Copies of this chain bind each other. A is one copy, B any other.
Amino acid sequence: MINEEICPTEPWQVRETRLETELLAQMESVFALANGYLGLRGNLDEGEPHEISGTYLNSFYEERPLPYPEGGYGYPEQGQTVVNVTDGKIIRLMVDDEQFTVERGVLHSHERVLDLRAGVLRRDVDWESPAGRRVRIRSRRLVSFTQRAVAAVCYEVEATDHPVRITVQSGLAANEEQVKVSDDPRVAAALKDPLLAVEQDKEQHGAVLLHRARTSGLLMAAGVDHVIETPGAYEEETDVRPDWARTTVVTELPPGGRLRIIKFMGYGWSTSRSTEALRDQVAADLNGARYAGWDGLVAAQRAYLDDFWDAADVEIEGDPALQQAVRFGLFHVLQAGARAEGRPIPGKGLTGPGYDGHAFWDTEGYVLPLLMYTAPRAAADALRWRHSILPHARDRARTLGLSGAAYPWRTIAGGECSAYWPAGTAALHLNAVVARAVDRYRRITGTELDFGVEILVETARLWVSHGHHDADGVWHIDGVTGPDEYSAVADDNVFTNLMAARNLRAAAEACARNPELAERLGVGADEPDVWRACAKAVHVPYDERLGVHPQSEGFTRYAPWHFSDEKHGEPLMKHAPYFQLYRRQVCKQADLVLAMHWCGEHFTPEQKARNVDYYERITVRDSSLSACTQAVMCAEVGHLELAREYAWEAAMVDLRDLHGNTRDGLHIASLAGAWSAIVEGFGGLREDENLLHLAPRLPSSISRLRFNLRHSGFRLLIEADHENTTVTLRDGPEGRLRVLLYGEETEVSAAEPVTRPVIPVEPLLPPPQQAPGYAPGQDSVN
């Protein structure tokens, strides 16, 4: 287990104090470097030992068969899986005649540091070979934010006591042995050695390898280039084979002598470009990197991140664990999305093979809001990807017998890849989540995305075609799966219904704002009226007797879940069949609570308090998306201490491997959710059509909270303690922003920060109990 000793709480970095081989896989994810285009897992430079070796290019995938023992209409036949592409980060070291590995000899010290301000992974090793030869190894690795196809390693070896012969083999390797991805031999076979060698080019100090994914046919190129610095003589040689290349440097180091190798990596891939074009692109990327040099790349990285942190940082005084974790989360969300540029942001970012590298609704729901407030350009790019896959979504809607567009539950390139129909056909809510992101982008940045209107219109059409009016004219959405995956195929899921209604209204309003665009999209004269009418008539089930909202029709009438006295070590779905889970009062994740967070205006404060109380008792958080939502709503109804525990859980999901699967990649949405827990939970951040809402209220552990936002082109700083809140507009002098501060409308200008006393919330109900073993926070998590 990752703990304070191995990974101490420090405000601006994640540091591994020693190497624990049983934590190798988790730390590979934690130390992953990426920029949204290229991702490198935190594998050791020497490649081994590793749990999952990973180098990923956003959207470079291989197809895999989806074999069903009992097929069904609309089941996708082909899936998509992220590929571990040609690995350029391997640097093997021979000390005299002993290959360096942490598994042999004496590891006098080992430290790795992920520096969140520098955007560099540093490693410092003091190793003594079995033959008694001692060296210091110092490596620095980055994936450039400013040159998106470039990664680099600065690798130094220093002899200490004895003169040693040093051989460094800097590699490039395709088709590395893969982690087992499937029990099905067909699938495993399809994904074994997925890269077919196309061409190899040997350069003066490196090589370029071109490969094609066997079934998807996607083409990729990976190249390396080297700068070698050492005072003495050395020999350099490069060997190239179809699946690997190796640049070897041999030298003798006297005690205190040092060899320094800068390794530049360049990557490219394409669905359509020629091998020649791709080869040249990678060569140019390597030229660019060499031109910048290691120091230039490091400096640019720092400047990029300084700019990011300037308008994104969250400072949490008094709660160092949350402080570290929220920055860790911000950093990894940025890494996942910064340079995706029209490609998806997968659930795991580019940090591991989990979920086959697929993107889900988490991105629009949890990740993009953070980016909209901190790096809006990246958010727009992610929405641009959604727009680019509209043709797939339209096809899918036709397949499902619906109009408009039905986005996939999980995908890389746009086609539905879910082999489970209650998700892959029935989880329609995701379309409303995409639409909400489009609409929020406009509210937060002040800019309407033209392509976004098309998304709003096509998703609105989907809802109208699936929903229906009953004999009383009430509009229903039946048989869908809401966010809570333990209640699939339900009727009138409140979250889905409210989000669909919002989707419909947003589409109507967008058409009103953009009449010409609407006409180009073929929006009929009365179509927006139909959308508004459906939205107005939407059914929101309410249990009068209990005074709570059932998360879907009939939910509060279902049998309770029989909790045992202790929490199970694994998710309920691993030891209960779906048909039992689906019609019991147990929630994998906050669903109705999420509806209250995202569609808060539809609930009274009293309903919110009672609903939180009700669902707290039955939500087991088997999804990592749950804790952040519970944090926000617990904070809103006044359970600030409980909210802090949920915020901690969301934030620490990977730094403490709370779900036991950090090995497969980080939980990007939960990390973004930690930001949401703090900024929307303790900061009270919301926005409506006209106003930014703020209402900071801090739990006892946090003495002071400062957070930065971008809004409508402004930078905003919110500072709060237990007495006062101050809102500062940092851009001026003309800037003015209307803010609802503790419910009171006010205007903030660059000249005049606004300070108001904190108005606390008196909770209507005492803090709720969770099911046995399911209380949040450090101690209760297995």
Contact = CB atoms under 8 A, between A and B. Distances in A.
A360 to B, nearest CB: 14
A74 B578 CA distance: 9
Nearest to A492: B554
Interface string A73-91: 1100001000000000000
A73 B573 CA distance: 7
A603 interface: no
Interface string A556-579: 011100000000000001111111
A419 B183 CA distance: 16
A491 interface: yes
Copy number in the complex reads 2
Contacts of A554: 491, 553-554
B69 A184 contact: yes
B73 A576 contact: yes
A756 interface: no
Interface stretch (A475-483, A709-717, A772-780): A475-483
A724 B480 CA distance: 55
A12 interface: no
A72 interface: yes
A525 interface: no
Given A70-B418, A419-B69, A577 B491 contact: no
Contact of A578 (B66, B425, B553, B576): B425
Contact of A401 (B68, B553, B580): B580
Given A554-B553, A557-B470, A579 B480 contact: yes
B479 A582 contact: yes
A75 to B, nearest CB: 9
B489 A577 contact: no
Interface string A123-167: 000000000000000000000000000000000000000000000
Contacts of A470: 557
B578 A73 contact: yes
A420 interface: yes
A426 B559 contact: no
A: contact size bracket: 35 or more
Given A478-B583, A479-B580, A420 B573 contact: no
A579 B425 contact: yes
Contacts of A186: 67, 184-186
A520 interface: no
A304 interface: no
A577 B478 contact: no
Contacts of A74: 577
Nearest to A185: B186
Given A73-B577, A425-B579, A575-B73, A559 B468 contact: yes
A284 interface: no
A422 interface: yes
B421 A479 contact: no
B476 A557 contact: yes
A559 B480 CA distance: 14
A67 B184 contact: yes
Interface in A419-433: 419-422, 425-426
Nearest to A402: B580
A187 interface: yes
Most chain B beta-carbon neighbours within 10 Å: one of A418, A476, A489? A489
Contacts of A418: 70
Given A67-B184, A69-B67, A579-B489, A478 B559 contact: yes
A508 to B, nearest CB: 22
A180 interface: no
A400 interface: yes
B72 A578 contact: yes
B578 A471 contact: no
Nearest to A468: B559
A374 B399 CA distance: 48
A400 B183 CA distance: 23
A421 B577 contact: yes
Interface string A453-480: 0000000000000001011000010111
Given A400-B579, A491-B583, 14 more contacts: A65-B69, A68-B419, A69-B79, A69-B187, A72-B578, A73-B573, A73-B574, A400-B577, A400-B580, A425-B578, A425-B579, A426-B578, A479-B580, A489-B582
25 contacts: A66-B69, A67-B184, A68-B68, A68-B69, A68-B184, A69-B419, A73-B574, A73-B578, A74-B577, A186-B186, A400-B579, A401-B580, A421-B579, A425-B578, A425-B579, A471-B545, A471-B557, A476-B557, A476-B559, A478-B559, A479-B579, A479-B580, A489-B489, A489-B582, A553-B554
Closest 3 CB pairs of A and B: A479-B583, A468-B559, A69-B419
